[in-house]
Amino acid sequence: MKAVTNLSKSKTTRLFVLIIVMGALLTPDLLARKNKTKLSSRSLRGMARIYMATGDYAKAKPLAEQALSVARLKNVSNDELAFCLLDLAYLYQYMGQLQKAEKMCELGLTLQTKIYYEKHPYIAYTLRTASDIYQEQGKYSKAQEMLSKALDIMLDSHLPDDKTMAQFYIDKGELLVAQGKLNDAENYYSKATNILKEVYTDDHLYSSNLKLKKAELYSLQGKYDQAVELAAAALSTQEKSYGQEHHLLIPAWLTVAQIKQNSNQYIESEVLAQKALASIQKRYKGDHPMAGKALCILGNVYISQGKYAQAEQASKNAVKVLEKSVGPNSDQTAMALNNLAKLYIYQGKYKQAEKLCDRALTTLETIFDNEHPNISEVHKTIDQLQYKRSLTTEVAMFKI
């Protein structure tokens, strides 16, 4: 997930004052009388954006949806309608409603191509959002297409080392990590690092977001000491900005939990994953992809600790959540199935494990090439399954 807001302490203070004022104004009575007060779509969007800036999506959603309804009813200009659609795309994405987000983003992009010239930066930013939405659903070819177009547009009007390019490079790196192209990803993260260090201090939220991305990359490369150090520094920065229990820390908690799991620090991983899951369940209704990620981490941690009953519950719930949120054919869902298969192997449920492995492998082979780490991970599970089966056969033959 992308960082939601990056504000200085003074700006944060002013923002929270605004939120208190808006909270007083936005009573249910006012919303019920919205037709009488004739609030414009722009006013409603402005109210929604205040809540979106601090991640209060539940309060932002009715305002943003009403803004779109008013815009359509009042037949506003195409640029205002596009803003309404794209605000909802952003909002739905962060609420985990990815299919709705994709639809809103596509509609907004279609309007923008009619309003602006072909390589307008607004279009690049929308393509970047579209890429992020596709990536979360495991639609990596579409994500690659959108982000490549966005980069082409931005580089047409900006120098490669312009500060506005940093986030596009980070997005490119994140997409390459998901595709298993770790060395290429590191090059893009390095480009972003060189830009950000000239613009922001080391403890800025932009810098902390990049540190988390790099920490995740280092963890996948087996550089656990570097990963833990970077992740700890990033989390410390975000805790100082948001507070130690703020829900905007959820992505950071999950990243650090994953790194801790990869480096066999299971107790620390479990604590952070549980903390993230509790915050997700409190903040969001329905099945959110971040809940699926938290449950996957917990499932693996419990397997490693031999807590098979807890592992089964977490792993099954992870599959259920991810099938609903990102789809049954997503790579995230496939890896959740692989986790459940590993558990079944430990429990001696070899037929169930085999079915899950076959399904996971079929999904991943339609998304990635055969060299992708996730495909290798499923092959490891299959090898383990065959080994356990061979041992069972040998024991049975010995008894005969």
Q: How confident is the model at residue 392 (pLDDT cuts 50, 70, 90)?
A: low
Q: How large a percentage of the chain has pLDDT more than 90?
A: 83
CA distance 254 to 275: 9
For the domain covering 39-159, report its CATH number: 1.25.40.10
What letter would DSSP give residue 163? Answer: G
Task: Give tens-digit pLDDT for 311-366.
Answer: 999 999 999 999 999 999 999 999 999 999 999 999 999 999 999 999 999 999 99
Average pLDDT, the chain: 89
Query: Is 143 within 8 Å of 172 (Cβ atoms)?
Result: no
Q: Where are the alpha helices (DSSP H) in the chain?
A: 9-25, 28-32, 34-37, 41-53, 57-74, 78-94, 98-115, 121-136, 140-157, 166-178, 182-199, 205-220, 224-242, 250-262, 266-283, 289-304, 308-325, 331-346, 350-367, 373-399
Cα-based distances in Å from 305 to 168, 257, 330: 40, 15, 28
CA–chain centroid gap for 262, Å, is 19
Task: Check whether 165 has a pLDDT greater than 90.
Answer: yes
More confident site: 36 or 235: 235
pLDDT of 212: 95
Q: How confident is the model at residue 287 (pLDDT cuts 50, 70, 90)?
A: confident
Rama region for 222: left / alpha / beta (φ>0; ψ in -120 to 50; rest):
left
pLDDT of 393: 57
3-state secondary structure of 60: helix
Task: Check whether 270 has a pLDDT greater than 70.
Answer: yes
CA distance 2 to 19: 22
Task: Check whether 16 has a pLDDT greater than 50.
Answer: no
Task: Check whether 9 has a pLDDT greater than 90.
Answer: no
Task: Check whether 22 has a pLDDT greater than 80.
Answer: no
3-state secondary structure of 116: coil
Task: Check whether 48 has a pLDDT greater than 60.
Answer: yes
Q: Which residues of 176-207 are buried (b: 16+ CB within 10 A; e: fewer)?
A: bbbbbbeeebbebbebbbebbeeebeeebbbb
Mean pLDDT over residues 46-53, rounded?
A: 94
Q: Within 10 A of 366 (CB to CB), how many other CB atoms are there?
A: 11
Task: Give tens-digit pLDDT for 66-75.
Answer: 999 999 999 9
* Domain boundaries of the chain, sorted by first residue: 39-159
pLDDT of 302: 96
Predicted structure pTM score: 0.84
Q: How confident is the model at residue 23 (pLDDT cuts 50, 70, 90)?
A: very low
